[in-house]
Amino acid sequence: MAKTAALTGVNGLRDIRRSPASHLAEALDAGSVRGQVVLNEGPFQTMAGVRVDPRSEGGSRIAAVTGGLPVRCGEVTGTDSISVLWLGPSEFLVVAPEAAHDSLGGTLIGSLVEALGDAPGQVVDLSANRTTFELSGPQARAVLEKGCALDLHPRSFTPGTALNTEVGNIPVVLEKTGEESFRLFPRASFADFLGRWLLDAMREYGSPEVP
């Protein structure tokens, strides 16, 4: 009984839950090539889907919580701990660390709901809907270009940009977080396929050079 009770609280659930790509952890580590390209899963982030007119009073209140709302395609706004990704003229994905979730003592989801109030729009907790892959290194862009139709050249896809696209035929939100780093947000059900696709696309960088 004591063991069962220990697993019924929030802390117990944190101990036994599994992220969508957790079964690939060893493969991600083995397939990463230090100094070339590295792939990790960044699981259990707090995510909220927000629909609101950014020019409305509700939009202004939401912006006060998140540190701003993007106003044009591909723009990312927010704070040091919160990113707000543009998905459409009135649709946004809010991403924050796991600790920001209300179930873990945070206040982000509740604060967004409260900020929207009775204004037209919607706030939906999407934390379990997607996972996050983090791809970095000098060859990260080359890996993505094997299966992404976007122009990923630095002159077009700059840090602080996020767009809906497909990578390996999987729908993702792709964010460029640095000169050589990206975050991919696939739906949880696609995590296994996309993780394996990325590992396959990275394989050449772990092979010895042919003289």
Model confidence over 69-123: pLDDT tens digits?
Answer: 999 999 999 999 999 999 999 999 999 999 999 999 999 999 999 999 999 999 9
211 and 138 belong to one structural domain: yes
Give the CATH number for residue 203: 3.30.1360.120
What's the number of domains the chain is made of?
2
3-state secondary structure at position 90:
coil
Asked whether residue 18 carries a pLDDT value surpassing 90, the answer given is no
pLDDT score at 10: 46
Of the three residues 127, 153, 186, the one that is the final residue of a domain is: 127
3-state secondary structure at position 137:
coil
Residue 73 forms part of a structural domain: yes
Range 12-26 average pLDDT: 80
39 and 137 belong to one structural domain: yes
136 and 114 belong to one structural domain: no
pLDDT score at 138: 97
CA torsion angle 161 166 172 173 (round to 10):
10
Give the CATH number for residue 69: 3.30.70.1520
68 and 90 belong to one structural domain: yes
Give the predicted TM-score (pTM) of the model: 0.89
pLDDT score at 6: 35
Task: Centre a 10 Å sphere on the Cβ of residue 124 and count the other Cβ atoms it contains.
Answer: 14
152 and 97 belong to one structural domain: no
Range of the domain at 136: 20-43+131-211
Report the distance separating Cα 179 and Cα 157, nearest Å. 10
39 and 136 belong to one structural domain: yes
CA-only gyration radius of the chain, Å: 19
136 and 204 belong to one structural domain: yes
Q: Name the band, by pLDDT with cuts 50, 70 and 90, for residue 209.
A: low
Of the three residues 127, 149, 171, the one that is the final residue of a domain is: 127
135 and 210 belong to one structural domain: yes
94 and 113 belong to one structural domain: yes
Name the more confident of 13 and 45. 45
3-state secondary structure at position 55:
coil
95 and 156 belong to one structural domain: no
Of the three residues 71, 97, 127, the one that is the final residue of a domain is: 127
Residue 8 forms part of a structural domain: no
First and final CA of the chain: distance in angstroms?
Answer: 64
